[in-house]
Amino acid sequence: MKNVAANPVTAFNAVSRQPSISGTAFVHPMACVIGDVIIGAHVMVAPLASVRADEGTPFHIGAGSNVQDGVIMHALESTGDHLEANTYEVHGKRYAIYVGERVSLAHQCQIHGPALVEDDCFIGMQAFVFRSRVGRGSVIEPGARLMGVEVPAGRYVEAGRTVSTQGEADDLRPIDEGYPLKALNAEVVRVNCELARAYREG
């Protein structure tokens, strides 16, 4: 596919690598995936998504996740020992961006590495995640921004809010039974896994 390509060799990224994409995933022809990107089973990458591991690298997108229309994934330079701070370690390997399983990256959100989004998270439309870790099962509502923080598991960030200190992140409200978006991610994941299958087979 012309929209899936190796990264160019540069002074800051001396090795050219092709993306590794599961046979059950679907990358739309109008999306772009470049470089050392691992895309897991049943992942849906929608039109106009840009997944570009040509500066910071590698990227990982776990099984059952979705990268919706207009999503941008890019990262700061990460190769070389002195740039380890621009990565997160997961299962003994370092990543410029790591997205876990059953994660929804909704329309036009930006994930700029270093970034780690754990399993079962929802990152809302036009949200921004930079130099941050999002704990499992969290919801980042549309237009929210995370900069340099670690969001504990099972919390939510209100639409439009900027969280830029760890104290703010630690004080985020937990997702409880009354939270209106509690079940949203599971439904979005279900729909997008089905879309990945239907597009692939169609």
DSSP 56-111: S--EEE-TT-EE-TT-EEEE----SGGGGGG-EEETTEEESEEE-TT-EE-TT-EE
d(CA 101, CA 118): 7
3-state helix, strand, coil in the chain (%, to 5): 15, 35, 50
- In the residue annotation, 158 being an active-site residue is answered as no
Per DSSP, what are the bridge partners of residue 98?
60, 116
- In the residue annotation, 77 being an active-site residue is answered as yes
**Exposed e or buried b for every residue in 18-34, given b needs 16+ CB within 10 A?**
ebebeeebbbbeebbbb
Query: Which residues form the catalytic set?
Result: 55, 77
